[in-house]
Amino acid sequence: MMSLLSVPTTSALPSSQLIPASHPAVTRILYRLTRPSLLSLVLDWLDERNQETSGPYLLSSDDEDDEQDFYPPASSLAALREIYTDLQARKGSKRDVVDRILEGDWRYGISLYQLAMADMQYLYDHPASQKWTALKIVRLSGEYIAPNDKEHPSIPRFHPATFLRNLQREALPDVKAHYNLDRHPTLPLLILRVFILESPYNTGLALHSAKERTTFDASKTFYVAFPDFSPYIYVSLAATSSSAPGSVSSSADNKSLRKLMLEGIPKAFSKPRDRFKLEGTSLSAKNLDVLVERRGGGRMNAAGGGWGVYAEDKKKESDNPLNVQLPTPESSILEDDQEDKDSAEKKSGMKRKRVEDPSVVKRRKLVARGRFGKSAKADDGKGIERLDVRLEDHFPTVSALADDDVEAEEGTEPARKDKKHKGRRSTITLELDRMEDVDELADDGWRPDIRITFHGQHVFAGIRELIEAGIVDGEKMPGWMTGEEGVSVGVVKDGRIRGNKGSGL
Amino acid sequence: MIPSVDDSIPEDPIDFQLDNEISDLQDQISALKAQRSIQVSTILSSQSTRSTLNRLRVSQKQSKLSPTTTDTTPLLSTSTAQLVHTRENLYRLCAGITTFRIQDPDPNAVDDGKVLGLRIDVASTGKFVRPYYVMLNKPFAGSELLRVHRHTIPPCIPLSLLVDRYLPNGKGSAAMGSKEPGAKKQDLRRFARALRKEIVGYHNRVSVIKGLRKEFKLDEKVSRKGKGRERVIADISAADAEAKQVRIEWVDGRIGRCVVGDGGEVRKCVVIGEEGRDFETERRVARGAMEGIGERLREGIY
């Protein structure tokens, strides 16, 4: 139970630290889960291995049976497990389950570990609930670079226990954190959940402090994902939804806490004579799959868009020097899904007056294939939801076709989704207006300030569809619109994303 | 042949049977198609087919085209394509590193979209793995300096280190073949060779670790009957991305870590148990090449 004496300490919050079951944050976190995932979570808590950190309240021999008890304690783990398995099979409300947990089996409190598990479960159930930013771990330059330096691997070694110990050392003494590492169920990722508590004490009293409401603020938890065998990490961004006017100062505090944590990460990777820092990679997305693909340990890091054909898994080793068969020409591959395409077109309901010539449609599909390869399919689940680009190109002296294309994209892509994002639309029309004004003032050497934002479920799949529908000219489209650069924010100069070396070198 | 049907949706047994038959037939079709394409390429690549086709063509030119004779031109062109493909395969098999040209589809690409592709074929455990590619272009105006444009090299291969060493494009670097004295010259040959060496080394290390796991039967289920010797090694795995560190776990709780050099030799080894370091095993493991670890461990055990 709670110790009466609180001594300032520099250690982390223990996983078994209990939070009273009546705490509003506990209820909130548990209520966020669906009933099935809540029940499977409880069964995880009841696992033999988790008893130290998430053991339930069981009936001990010297306890007397309390007749008044609405949820009489079970006599053994197995019995309790049976009760919850029964609940799984039966139908019922989520409320019953939460009540049983908080007032019955865990009446003395929920441990920090249990809360972390519940939060992780929520993250797995709602993969788009966090926005992730990819950062690269790079060696500090100018430091001990021997000419034949092969001892240092290009990827810093990640050893969870050592890493956490070092990270804790970087934390300030008046800030306590609880760390929980978890393996992602499907992706090659290790996810670290950090929960920050502003207190010099790591005891229960600190958790009961007067600022109960802000203690378990969602902004005080954040996540760091470590992909396997990769020099990148993904950090969840601040959910900047400080709606309450009074919480301005606390959100600023949270920001600095978060910044401190972020600064601690490269230091925790470092060791004497081998130090690291974090570098931005201009890619952030809600989708972890796309991050794993473009900033992971695989081959796709520097071969996006159409270049992906060189990296992807081909079926049956067609790219093998022992394969005597001629590679199938691309034009014949398309014939099979010609019909799908036709039906899809009818569904999309885009009104075009001219009758589609099948050969034209096929050609456009081929062009789209050439630019995108097998990437940017609407159903591949690897979409980024936002692409921000600033154009710094010379204004074209000849108002050529290429310009019209850009306008068309800007107009159509957001317009298709603008039912949800009315706010975005206004800025885009503003940009369009500006572009029209600019037309008359065209002057050589002038670089207009143009910003384009693509917004949607899967931005590059949308652009691909526009090519296939003939709205965007696939051959004149600049390369950054295929997503081959692997960035979500960029500045375009001379038609290419500036500063991005493409190859990640 | 009808499986027990769940109580949820009673399925028509005839439907089920028909579905099975259809999928069987589809499998058969794809198998036959694959077989046909192999036969086609075999026939096309044979020397005698080519000479027959050539003869036919000559005779067709002499006599006027009649509707009964088939036009051999498409056949000949496919045959030529097959020949080119076979030759390319031969180069890939023998050389390991091959080059090809790519046209960058980006209309704004540098140097008119001219890209040089480097293909690195590596075999591991008797099979060719997916080839690795490096695409190079010349982005610097008025200079022949190469730069890596795209590549499919996973991060566990130290590509940027090799680029720094063999393909520098910063200040004071010179293109291949330049006669500037004192400049850091780019060297594509040495770059490609060094890169292939890294990749081959990586695959060799991975396959050695796989072999060690097999040697100690770590991927098999433990047989309860006590057949053979008791298990001594609990786990052997790569501890880092480059597979240059091997982690060995003993059943009795000892844990070892060895560092492997570029040539596959064990450089350092540390084994720690409950009673401290186990210097004897350390010496034994560190004495020689990586693939001999298993044998040397056995010597100590039995």
Q: How confident is the model at residue A405 (pLDDT cuts 50, 70, 90)?
A: very low
Averaged over A176-190, what is the pLDDT?
Answer: 88
Flag whether pLDDT at B21 surpasses 90. Answer: yes
Contact B235, B250 (CB under 8 A): no
- Which residue among B42, B147, B160 sits closest to A154, beta carbon to beta carbon? B160
Q: Identify the burial level of B7 via C-beta atoms within 10 angstroms of its C-beta, where 0-12 means exposed, 13-18 middle and 19 or more buried.
A: exposed
Across the interface, do A322 and B93 touch by the CB < 8 Å criterion? yes
Q: Which fold has domain A313-497?
A: Ubiquitin-like (UB roll) (3.10.20)
Q: What does the H/E/C string look like for B98-131? A: EEEEEECCCCCCHHHHEEEEEEECCEECCEECCC
pLDDT of residue A302: 81
> What's the number of CA atoms in the CB half-sphere (13 Å) around residue A408?
16
Averaged over A184-196, what is the pLDDT?
Answer: 88
Flag whether pLDDT at A437 surpasses 60. Answer: no
For B229, other C-beta atoms within 10 Å of its C-beta total 10
Q: Which residues of B touch A494 (CB under 8 A)?
A: 108
pLDDT of residue A356: 67
Q: How confident is the model at residue B283 (pLDDT cuts 50, 70, 90)?
A: confident
> In this complex, is the C-beta atom of A502 within 8 Å of any C-beta atom belonging to chain B?
yes
Measured in degrees and rounded to the nearest 5, phi and psi for residue A239 equal -80, 85
* In chain A, domain spans: 21-61+68-108, 129-143+154-240+250-298, 313-497
Higher pLDDT, B72 or A432: B72
Q: Which residues of A touch B158 (CB under 8 A)?
A: 150, 153-154
> In this complex, is the C-beta atom of A477 within 8 Å of any C-beta atom belonging to chain B?
yes
> In this complex, is the C-beta atom of A443 within 8 Å of any C-beta atom belonging to chain B?
no
Q: How confident is the model at residue A423 (pLDDT cuts 50, 70, 90)?
A: very low
User: For B238-274, what is each residue's pLDDT tens digit?
Assistant: 888 888 889 999 888 889 999 888 888 888 899 998 8
Q: Which of A5-19, A298-312, A341-355 has the lowest mean pLDDT?
A: A341-355
Q: Which residue in chain A has the smallest CA separation from B160?
A: A505
> In this complex, is the C-beta atom of B194 within 8 Å of any C-beta atom belonging to chain A?
no
In angstroms, the Cα distances linking B142 to A48, A56, B100, B138, B139 are: 69, 74, 23, 9, 9
Q: How confident is the model at residue A413 (pLDDT cuts 50, 70, 90)?
A: very low
Flag whether pLDDT at A158 surpasses 80. Answer: yes
A vs B: CB pairs below 8 A: 134
Q: Which residues of B touch A314 (CB under 8 A)?
A: 130
Q: Mind telling me how many Å the CA of A484 is from chain B's nearest CA?
A: 9
Q: What is the mean pLDDT of chain B?
A: 83
Q: Which residues of A touch B157 (CB under 8 A)?
A: 154
Residues 206-245 in B contacting A (C-alpha not used; CB under 8 Å) = 239-242, 244-245
> In this complex, is the C-beta atom of A495 within 8 Å of any C-beta atom belonging to chain B?
yes
Q: How confident is the model at residue B200 (pLDDT cuts 50, 70, 90)?
A: very high
The two tokens of residue A189 are: 């990722």
Residues 299-328 in A contacting B (C-alpha not used; CB under 8 Å) = 299-303, 306-307, 310-311, 313-314, 317, 319-327
Across the interface, do A503 and B104 touch by the CB < 8 Å criterion? no
Q: Give the integer Cα–Cα distance in Å for B278 and B287.
A: 15
Flag whether pLDDT at B26 surpasses 90. Answer: yes
Flag whether pLDDT at B286 surpasses 50. Answer: yes
- Which residue among A154, A321, A478 sits closest to B92, beta carbon to beta carbon? A321
The two tokens of residue B100 are: 């090809």
Q: How confident is the model at residue A61 (pLDDT cuts 50, 70, 90)?
A: low
Proportion of chain B in helix, strand, coil states, percent, rounded to 5: 45, 20, 35
What does the DSSP assignment read for B168-223? --STTEE-TT---TTSEE--HHHHHHHHHHHHHHHHHHHHHHHHHHHHTT-SSPPP
Q: Which of A58-67, A136-145, B52-61 has the lowest mean pLDDT?
A: A58-67
Q: What is the mean pLDDT of chain A?
A: 73
The predicted complex's ipTM stands at: 0.77
Q: How confident is the model at residue A208 (pLDDT cuts 50, 70, 90)?
A: low
What does the DSSP assignment read for A69-110? -SSPPPSSHHHHHHHHHHHHHS---HHHHHHIIIIIITTT-E
pLDDT of residue A270: 85
> In this complex, is the C-beta atom of B158 within 8 Å of any C-beta atom belonging to chain A?
yes
Flag whether pLDDT at B25 surpasses 90. Answer: yes
Angle at which helix A358-372 crosses helix A459-468, to 10 degrees, equals 150
Q: Which residues of B touch A317 (CB under 8 A)?
A: 128, 130
Q: How confident is the model at residue A421 (pLDDT cuts 50, 70, 90)?
A: very low
Q: Which residue in chain B has the smallest CA separation from A495?
A: B108
Averaged over A224-246, what is the pLDDT?
Answer: 71
Instruction: Quickly tell me which residue has 């939804």 as its tokens.
Output: A241
The two tokens of residue A180 are: 């929980």
Looking at this protein, which amino acid is placed at residue A143? E
pLDDT of residue A2: 45
pLDDT of residue B228: 53
Q: How confident is the model at residue B184 (pLDDT cuts 50, 70, 90)?
A: confident
Across the interface, do B241 and A155 touch by the CB < 8 Å criterion? yes
User: For B79-94, what is each residue's pLDDT tens digit?
Assistant: 888 888 888 889 998 8
Residues 23-82 in B contacting A (C-alpha not used; CB under 8 Å) = 37-38, 40-42, 45, 78, 81-82
pLDDT of residue A259: 81
User: For B212-246, what is each residue's pLDDT tens digit?
Assistant: 888 888 777 655 555 555 678 888 888 888 888 89
Flag whether pLDDT at A312 surpasses 50. Answer: yes
pLDDT of residue A7: 66
User: For A381-394, what is each residue's pLDDT tens digit?
Assistant: 888 888 888 888 77
Flag whether pLDDT at B32 surpasses 90. Answer: yes
Q: How confident is the model at residue A412 (pLDDT cuts 50, 70, 90)?
A: very low
User: For A439-472, what is each residue's pLDDT tens digit?
Assistant: 444 445 677 888 889 988 888 899 988 888 888 8
Flag whether pLDDT at B291 surpasses 80. Answer: yes
Q: Identify the burial level of A178 via C-beta atoms within 10 angstroms of its C-beta, where 0-12 means exposed, 13-18 middle and 19 or more buried.
A: buried
Q: Which of A150-159, A205-214, B65-74, B214-223 has the lowest mean pLDDT?
A: A205-214
Task: Tell me the percentage of chain B whose pLDDT exceeds 90.
Answer: 19
For A414, other C-beta atoms within 10 Å of its C-beta total 21
The two tokens of residue A276 are: 């690291």
Q: How confident is the model at residue A497 (pLDDT cuts 50, 70, 90)?
A: confident
Q: Which of A51-60, B104-113, B225-234 has the lowest mean pLDDT?
A: B225-234
The candidate with the shortest Cα–Cα distance to B246, out of B300, B277, B291, is B291
> In this complex, is the C-beta atom of A279 within 8 Å of any C-beta atom belonging to chain B?
no
